[in-house]
Amino acid sequence: MTTDTLLQLASDSGGVLYVIAAMLFVALTLIVERTWFLQRVAASCHAVLHHVDRLGHVDPAGLSELAGRYRDLPVARILSVAARIGGERGRDTLSASLDETIMREAPRVDRFLWVLDTIVTLAPLLGLFGTIVGMFHAFQVLSNPGNAPTQVTGGVAEALVATASGLFVAMLGLVFFNGLHNRVRIVVHQLETLKVSLVNRMVGVVPEARAETREHLREVAAKLAAQGA
């Protein structure tokens, strides 16, 4: 298919093919950018979680140094908040502050995904609109004297290119939108896991939980003593 043919098809569709081509370019740009960004965020969360898991206790200075390795990423801001208030406030305050940080970073994680979702929904509709416009042009052939009715079939076939193009963009965008949405869910889960890990290692087990554990141990010891008697 030559360039002249493509330009003729775009003209017959009322310019809809130009819009679909622009939407394809935007969709591919978003797919590449979001995939690269989410891969960086997921890798940084995995590395920090692995580092924290190897520590029995984390100190604010170590968290500040670790945050410097992942600047401009959500994990760095979580580490910075934990380093700033971890040694000064209680468990509930630290947990609430980290929750707030995660909520503030969440829009960065799924940024522009709504654009991809809109393209997935809009592309088939635009393709159908372009096909309808193209069929108007095709059936106008019958109004011109001397034109054969068989020329209509060629015009209809060309008009269907708009629908096919819109469906192609929608299918491509849908596959990557679902994949990126799942990656966002995994990243948010990693951030929540990091929050819990930091709170547990910086503050420790809550006093109520330690009291319940001691009481449970006493009950077990009493049962064992009674059985031994």
Position 123 scores a pLDDT of 93
Contact 65/80 with Cβ under 8 angstroms?
A: no
Contact 116/96 with Cβ under 8 angstroms?
A: no
Beta-carbon contacts of 96 under 8 Å, excluding residues fewer than 6 positions away, are: none
Q: What is the mean pLDDT of residues 209-228?
A: 54
Count of domains observed in the chain: 1
* pLDDT tens profile 52-87: 888 777 777 888 888 888 888 999 999 888 888 866
pTM here is 0.75
Position 87 scores a pLDDT of 61
Q: What is the mean pLDDT of residues 179-200?
A: 91
Nearest-angstrom CA–CA distance, 208 and 10: 70
Residue 170 has a CB neighbour count (10 Å cut-off) of 23
Q: Residue 181's domain spans which residues? A: 3-228
Query: Of the candidates 36, 33, 44, which has an alpha carbon nearest to the alpha carbon of residue 78?
Result: 44
Q: What percent of the chain has pLDDT over 70?
A: 71
pLDDT band with cut points at 50, 70 and 90 for residue 34: very high
Position 71 scores a pLDDT of 84
Give 139 or 93, the one with higher predicted confidence: 93
Contact 165/127 with Cβ under 8 angstroms?
A: yes
| Sign of the torsion formed by the C-alpha atoms of 56, 60, 62 and 65 | positive
pLDDT band with cut points at 50, 70 and 90 for residue 120: very high
Q: Residue 220 above 80 pLDDT?
A: no
